[in-house]
Structure 1
């Protein structure tokens, strides 16, 4: 009986010593995730995670992708909305803000005709929808409908 108690005591000592051999990294408490959802506001106070960006034209946070979508001329059939430019007009229609895929935007102002808005070497032309030209070359074009374009349909009978 005494021998059994000695074996149990020695086994307990070895087991408890093994548990104390944990490395410093194993002993450290897990770090709480301090991420606060919705706390990713930009310098203008727009909530980027919700798709908002600052509009220089409207002086407020807007969802640029709710404007007129212009697809890149090099890949007009793209469904990748991150490669597209978007156009938002002011209420009068004499100015529009162009949001480029690289998160830059600029304002074009109505030119000499009702179908032309210009800024430096950019031209927005209302022609079979809209075309955005830079230095005379078409860089983006679209059908002029507002909002994102989705090809196909959930309804297989839709034609």
Structure 2
């Protein structure tokens, strides 16, 4: 009889330890889910992680870094180093469309060209390939750039050493 009581006590002790372990695992799973949900809420309607600087590219149909295209600086600030004041251009695979990300605008605009060498156009916006690119709205030149990808650095280490 003592053996049976001892066995019952031992089994109840072991099973109670397992219940405690399961409760701790459940708490961890719930905490992990909360973290995953907060990350999901940081994504835009296309699944792009906005806090990391990603935006949806209409012409490339994927999330891209907003500042990774060809940088066009404002005409009145050609040596601009503040990337938030610049416009950025990305092209689709055959370069028939140019997507322009304007500063302070949440949505991009997509310009289309009819033939190589011609400007990309949408309403009164034009992207003209000339010594890089010039972006015009109506008759006014708004932005220009040398056609190189990414942010431009005006004061480089090499210039400082000379």
Q: Same fold (TM over 0.5)?
A: yes
- Whether the aligned pair in 2 keeps the contact of 1:39 and 1:47 (CA below 8 Å) is no
Unaligned runs of 5+ in 2: 1-33
Runs of 4+ in 1 over 6 A off after TM superposition: none
Displacement of 1:113 in angstroms is: 5.2
Alignment map for 1:98-109 (pairs within 5 Å):
98-101=100-103, 102-109=105-112
Unaligned runs of 5+ in 1: 1-33
- Whether the aligned pair in 1 keeps the contact of 2:79 and 2:154 (CA below 8 Å) is no
Which sits farther off after the overlay, 48-57 or 113-122? 113-122
Question: Which SS does the other structure have where 2:100 is aligned?
Answer: strand
Q: 1:65 aligns with which of 64, 67, 73?
A: 67
Structure (1/2) with the larger helix percentage: 2
State the alpha-carbon separation in 2 of the partners of residues 97 and 141 from structure 1: 15
Question: Which SS does the other structure have where 1:86 is aligned?
Answer: strand
Question: Which SS does the other structure have where 2:151 is aligned?
Answer: coil
For the aligned residue pairs, the C-alpha RMSD in angstroms reads 2.0
Question: Which SS does the other structure have where 1:44 is aligned?
Answer: coil
Structure number with greater Rg is 1
- Whether the aligned pair in 2 keeps the contact of 1:64 and 1:88 (CA below 8 Å) is no
TM-score, L = length of structure 2? 0.70
TM-score, L = length of structure 1? 0.71
Displacement of 1:37 in angstroms is: 5.9
